[in-house]
Structure 1
């Protein structure tokens, strides 16, 4: 059985909205058409995808599974279309994604010198999408901060840099020459613990303080400055976003943050190999005062 990608897109819209009317508006189609397409998909898959009542639309277990599988499939299909279209036109652009604190200027200039006919674009990413931009075709390469999901990727290590605790300027530990992660056990971490795996090992009382949805370093630092918690960042990020109402204190017992160049393992572009060679000279930004 072949799965119709159009029906999958319709399904994802309904699954995300949990409302057929809103999903139809989002897709710019009539609601009866959308309902027929969802019924046809359920018939093809032999499974009910939604529980519908007068008050609510909910995903069934089969629907939840399909949603998990459909999103990466649609992303891959969109990336395929982008890459085929680019191949048909010829390689006119090369997009480099990068995480905050990473400086690309020297590598970009060297690349442009070697390939003057290629337009080089840069794309700033976050922890949430530094890998996704490769899978969905928005970037040819991505300079990432580990840990990441490395499936289907090729990685080339670049460098390592220390991690620092970012605290409010008036914090009790401000001004210390260095601290250990255990000194922060009573603090509220303003990032997902997956970004700081050592945080999970700290002995402390269970807490249920929510982690705010912070989409950028700037937002994170605003919360730190306001005394709402602390963050742990690589030294180059702390250097780049230096400000007077926060302070950065070295952490002596954390392994360094690892920076790597990543690209899809299936890509064989000579432009990628050129950029791999050029990034061997990348180094972290020096912290303030060095």
Structure 2
């Protein structure tokens, strides 16, 4: 199902119309304005869904809800396979913004469907703002050229990885990457070719990563990868796969570009600075050892 981007549907003129529509609905949940006001107290999508689910429980036997949108899925409560499932679309300006899947302890009847559909209208306006805010946050953490995380996103990612490693003993590895001979591509062919090459490099690298791995661009031809749940084997597998993939790429071969990689593993007591310093040192060793290789710290 195709959903619209929430930034595309923000229209100040819609606010009054939506609020007018809300005022016309009557259900067993009497405090309509209160719920809308509660939902508008936060732009956190998960918190909004929790508030909405709590209000739902006053009138419906709903155990959990899932929100499916253009940007992915969000959820609140407990979704059990034993429950009845009901999916309702969320529309604004006749465009599909997403859908909410309800998990109900009661059978789905026409009256139940109608009441729940009316109740859901209170969620539309606050949720639209929260989703738009979420999208802006994601854009602020995204590299504009390649679409992967930027340096700010890396700072968030490495902070979370360190926290998980310290609290739950979850090992991880940090890869620092640098494209070999990239400057000569810009000098000889121009920055447009250089940008195209960076985009191709990111696409090839993403194909070599697992779903839990995080990929970032610091700027220029400098990149970093966080390999979560690393057991000292996955880093070797991923880096070998990446080196082999780039070596076999016709585009990379054409411009005589390769990649050098430095890898460091998390150790007890590590900080972001100490972990990065070891990976950066390993990267320097890979460069001085002939490039197109990985060194481990």
TM-score (structure 1 length as normaliser)? 0.30
Q: TM-score, normalised to structure 2's length? A: 0.30
More helix by share: 2
Which has the higher relative contact order, 1 or 2, with Cα contacts under 8 A spaced 6 or more apart?
1
